[in-house]
Amino acid sequence: MPDKAVLILAAGLGTRMKSDIPKVLHTFDNKPLIIRLLEKIEKLKIKNIIIVVGYKAEFVVDVVKKWNANKGFNIVFVYQKLLKGSGQAVVESAKEIKKFEDIFIISGDIPLISLKTLKGMLRNYDNKKIDALILTATVSDTKSYGRIIRDNNKNVKAIVEADELKGDEKLINEINGGVYIFKTKKLLEAIRDLKPKGLKKEYYLTDAIENIYKSGGKIDTFIISDEDEISGPNSKKELNELEKRYYMKNAIKLGEEGVSIKSPEFSYISETVEIARDTIIYPDTHIYGNSKIGKNCSIGPYVIIEDSIIKDNCTIKPFSYISKSVIREGSIVGPFSHIRPESDIGPDAKIGNFSEIKKSKIGKGSKVPHLSYIGDCEMGEKVNIGAGTITCNYDGVKKHKTTINSGAFIGSNTNLVAPVRIGKNALIGAGSTITIDIPDNKLAIARSREVIKEKKRKV
């Protein structure tokens, strides 16, 4: 029997979100909540994942399947028929979870649960002979969280929801984080007789803790101090506030490491981003995913960078968008430039105003200064691209490649109809449409002869 699986609870509607989108598909740091969680689970090296889906399940399933397309995880979806709480979700998952010795249960809507915490829980659980491990936090403001109730020997005996607390229980500041690891056999025994509670008559997974305790089971806690790790936002306002705190923490941390963050409150930088010292980040800059920024760079304002590498001494000017690309040393991009995926720019290259680069290599010292589209292109060194130049890479069926060799000069308003090769030091006259290869060191002009005639109609 495989030893472990992860059970993700992702069936909720999220009524207070006031949205038609399933709760776990709302975005946080430019990704759906459930994808952020899956990326962390991926690093736990647990290959078996069970996901409980409910409201608009087909959308959640589609997003997860696309994420897993090339990863090879064994993902099983359980369609929760009765949306009556976390306990009911686990009951309806029993057929799947019984295949595993241990089950790691995580809510799909806690975007800031850290990999460090998840790994710590697994290590703690594996090192102790226990039946259940609960993630908890000690906080000054307990809000509406359930509390951890302990017996006289400090052993966990129950989790009590906020609206059921009595007397001194209300003074307890250890809260339930909603993340658990169970011995599957013990869990299945503990959920057999769950009773509906509250106005909504829901079945609470937390009641399984008390049942395990009463049966003589051993329960432990993994305590953290950062409440944000276990925060599951219930409204768009809460989601936005949590995201703001997250970005602020990331900006402050980078500032402490030698990055000049001009406005931490208006910087949107993922926790996975790496930025070297002496780089300046101007306001309203968004840097997401696994981006890496070198030293002595100037980024922004109003720049978006996704999963890209910016080498040392680069300048990314305002209103530029760079996705899944590499900008090499000393290059300048922008303002108003769009660098699309699989592009490789520089070193010492320039991409200027309103130029778009797609899946292209721009060589050392080459320039695409303004108003051009360069797609599926291999460009050599010190090439100069005139304004309004287009590589016509798509024939309606297939994409084709344009090669522009070093030293070529492409006149303004030129159309390069791929597949086509422009030779070294070739010169293309402005306004040309080039459909054949141009040899090295040649001048090519491809435009209609200018004709001047008398006007037939007077103005």
Distance CA(249)–CA(13), nearest Å, equals 29
Residue type (1 letter), 342: E
Strands 373-375, 356-358: parallel, antiparallel or unpaired by DSSP?
Answer: parallel
Residue count (the chain): 459
Q: Which of 421, 326, 409, 403 is nearest to 366 (CA)?
A: 409
Residues classed as catalytic: 370
Task: Write down the number of H helices and E strands in the chain.
Answer: 8, 41
Query: DSSP of 111-154, one letter per residue?
Result: TT--HHHHHHHHHHHHHS--SEEEEEEE-S--TT--EEEE-TTS
Q: Which of 112, 109, 113, 144 is nearest to 233 (CA)?
A: 109
Distance CA(98)–CA(422), nearest Å, equals 64
Tokens of 85: 């709480």
Residue type (1 letter), 43: K
Residues 6+ apart with CB under 8 A from 277: 257, 258, 259, 295
Cα 453–chain centre separation: 61
Kind and range of the H or E run holding 13: none
Distance CA(217)–CA(136), nearest Å, equals 19
